[in-house]
Every structure is written in structure tokens, then in C-alpha cells.
Amino acid sequence: MFESIENLGMIEASAREFAQKHILPKVMEWDEAQHFPVDVMKELGKLGFLGVLVPHEYGGSGLGYQEYITILTEIGKVCGSIGLSVAAHNSLCTGHIMAFGNEVQKSKYLPLLASGEFIGAWGLTEANTGSDAMRMKCVAIKDGDHYVLNGSKNWITHGKSGDVAVVLARTGELLDSRGITAFIVERGTPGFRAGKKENKLGMRASETAEIIFEDCRVHESQVLGQVGDGFIQAMKVLDGGRISIAALSLGIAKGAYEASVKYAKEREQFGQPIANFQAISFKLADMATRIQAAELLTRQAADLKNNGKKVTEAGAMAKYYASEVCVYASNEAVQIFGGYGYTKDFPVEKYYRDSKLCTIGEGTSEIQKLVISRSILKEQ
């Protein structure tokens, strides 16, 4: 079912080594300062981690989803924020251009994104339209051979530092699924600027900001695919993106679990390691079992994706389950650490804060259940 274990092992080791050496020492500093380390993203680009799924001919690593999951999990174990940024860059901006760009667009942007020369952003969400993205207000009006964009997008990963963004805007009627178009917009295009940067609970080193369009003229050659196909494209991009959030969730959950096992063996109360208390060891057993189940769901979705199968249901199941396990495991980890878990001296406090994003970004758990239930009921 899975790709070569040997190859996965090498990739896992390389991602782990990078994370331990270049991310771990600065994790809390970036978190405190809400600093998005662009230089680290550039280094990740040099290693091929920003173009994991991009074919070699476009300067990417040409790997599959199993390797992609492995990389995100290893980075997520050390820092959820960097994991989130790597996931958004690969799956959303790069993934959208890779899946729906024409030859000119792919040849121009994929090498820049895969190498890390360009950081990618992807704008679907608006202030008043999150889960209900189809009601978006951002418009693109045709004017000669250009489209004029007006409106704003919120919660955009790399909204300030991104060099290029894929932006979804309305070109047709409200609620018409064929009324939305995807555009590639480069930073520096007149009328395109970043707005407020969010001050977040967790994932603080992953930049999240508003992007604003004021009479921003975008040439029609920057349209991705056909005019009116944007919403359908976005849903397909999210199908793959959700597998990446599942992988990120797994990374955070595994990080919290591994720290908990170590701590439970070391911390003594009542003259013995707390791991000896069934109340603690059963927590570890539950964490391990749920993490394993989440990994199987995620790897299964990745396998379907690698084989070109539809992953709407499998991706939603993986994302839903893995993200809830991530929150569960991080919560239990803080409990196992007791008072120390509530401080910034131990890593579980940050896992706990970072974990919550996983049940929200790229579709909340409630929306995943909508997707899954619709799929199940359609089958009957």
C-alpha cells in the first residue's frame, strides 16, 4: 500500500535533522515575538521541502503524498507554525498552480515556489465568509484584457511576506458555483497590499494576515484555468490540503505524546515514576492508539491521492480525525506534565495552543462532518 519504506525513512531523517538543527533552538523565541522566519523557509526551499509534490521538470522534488506527509509530520513535531506554513505553501498556492495552471504559468511560478525564492499565499476566506466561502464579496470585473479586483481576504497564511498569491474572486452572480475565478497576483501589483496581521493563540510563527485589493488590475493571462472554475478548483485544492493538515496534526500529536512518555518515566511522585500510575499510563495508551488510527487514515488518504483517486471523503475523514486527536493528545500532555505543562519551559504548552488551529483551518471539524456525511449519504 505504501511507497518504499526506505525512501520514506531517508526523508523522515532529513526532515527531522533539519527541524532539530534549524527550527527547535528558536521555536519559543519566534512564538513569543510572532516572528515568521522567512530565512528558514528559504532554507527549506533549498532542501526541496517547498516543492515536495512539484515534478522535477518544474524544479520540484517530484515526490508523492506519503513523503509529503512524512515531512510535515516531522516538522510539525518540532514546530506547528513552520509545519503550517510549509503545508499552506505546498498544498494551497503551489498546489493550485500545479493542478490548474497552464504551461506558461507553471513554467514561470512553480520553479520559484519550489525553490523558496517565492513564498506562496492562497486567498479564499473573507471576514464574513469562512465556511460559507461561496458567498465571497471580493470581485473581479473585466476591463479590456485585465480584471479589476476589489475587496479583501482574511486569515491569509503569508499575507504579508508572500511573493505571490492565488486569489479567488467573484466574476459572476452571488451563490453561482460557476461565478468565482482564481487569479495569480504577485506582490507589488499596484492596488494589492497586506492589511492587519493577526495576533494569534497558537501557530504564532506562521504569519496570518489580511490582503486587500483596491482597483488592482490583473492581466487576463493570470487567470488560472477557465473563468468561473475558481470555486470548483478551490474545493479540489482543499481536498489535498486537508491531507496536509492531517499530517501536521499528526506531527503535533506525536510531539506531545513523545514528550509525555519521556516525562512520565522521569517525573516521580509518591516515590515512583508517574508512568506507574494507571491513570497516567492509560492516558498514554489512549494517545498512542488514537495517533496510530489517525496516521492510518492519513496514509490511506495519501495513498488514494497518489493513485489519482477522489479524496474528498478520505481527506475529510483524515483531517477531521487527526485534528481532533491532535487537540486531545495535546490536552492530555499538559495534564500529564501537571503544573510544568502550564509553563513555557516545557513544549506541551505550545503544542496545546498550536493544536487548536488544526480543527479550524482548511475547513472546521463541523464542515468536515458535513463533507463526510454528504458523501456517505450520496453513496446509499
Ligand X SMILES: Cc1cc2nc3c(=O)[nH]c(=O)nc-3n(C[C@H](O)[C@H](O)[C@H](O)COP(=O)(O)OP(=O)(O)OC[C@H]3O[C@@H](n4cnc5c(N)ncnc54)[C@H](O)[C@@H]3O)c2cc1C
* Residues that bind ligand X in the complex, under the rule CB under 6 A: 88, 122-125, 130-131, 155-157, 203, 208, 357, 360-364, 366-367, 370
Burial code (b: 16+ CB inside 10 Å, e: under 16) for 37-74 equals beebbebbbeebbbbbbbeeebbbbbbbbbbbbbbbbb
Residue 201 CB-density burial (10 A; 0-12 exposed, 13-18 middle, 19+ buried): exposed
Q: Which amino acid is at 265?
A: K
Residue 43 CA, chain-centre distance (Å), reads 18
Residue closer to ligand X by CB (options 91, 260) is: 91
Q: At its nearest, how many Å lie between ligand X and the CB of residue 13? A: 29
- What residue number has its CB nearest to ligand X? 130
Residue closer to ligand X by CB (options 211, 284) is: 211
User: HSE of 165 in the Cβ direction (CA atoms, 13 Å)?
Assistant: 31
Q: At its nearest, how many Å lie between ligand X and the CB of residue 209? A: 10
**Site of grid cell 504551461:** 103
Residue closer to ligand X by CB (options 261, 370) is: 370
Q: At its nearest, how many Å lie between ligand X and the CB of residue 157? A: 3
User: How many CB atoms lie under 10 A from the CB of residue 229?
Assistant: 18
CA distance 284 to 261: 7
139-143 and 272-273 beta bridge pairing: unpaired
Q: At its nearest, how many Å lie between ligand X and the CB of residue 89? A: 10
Residue closer to ligand X by CB (options 88, 250) is: 88
Q: Is residue 226 classed as helix, strand or coil in its secondary structure?
A: coil
Number of residues in the chain = 380
Q: At its nearest, how many Å lie between ligand X and the CB of residue 132? A: 6
Residue 220 CA, chain-centre distance (Å), reads 29
Residue closer to ligand X by CB (options 56, 374) is: 374
Q: Which residues are catalytic?
A: 362
Helices (H), the chain: 5-18, 27-33, 38-46, 65-78, 80-87, 95-100, 103-115, 230-266, 278-306, 312-337, 348-358, 365-379
User: HSE of 229 in the Cβ direction (CA atoms, 13 Å)?
Assistant: 13
Q: At its nearest, how many Å lie between ligand X and the CB of residue 93? A: 8
Residue closer to ligand X by CB (options 7, 364) is: 364
Q: Is residue 266 classed as helix, strand or coil in its secondary structure?
A: helix
**Residues 6+ away with beta carbon under 8 Å from 94:** 50, 51, 53, 54, 110, 113, 114, 120
Give me the residues paired with residue 185 across strands. Answer: 165
Residue closer to ligand X by CB (options 203, 243) is: 203
Q: At its nearest, how many Å lie between ligand X and the CB of residue 130? A: 2
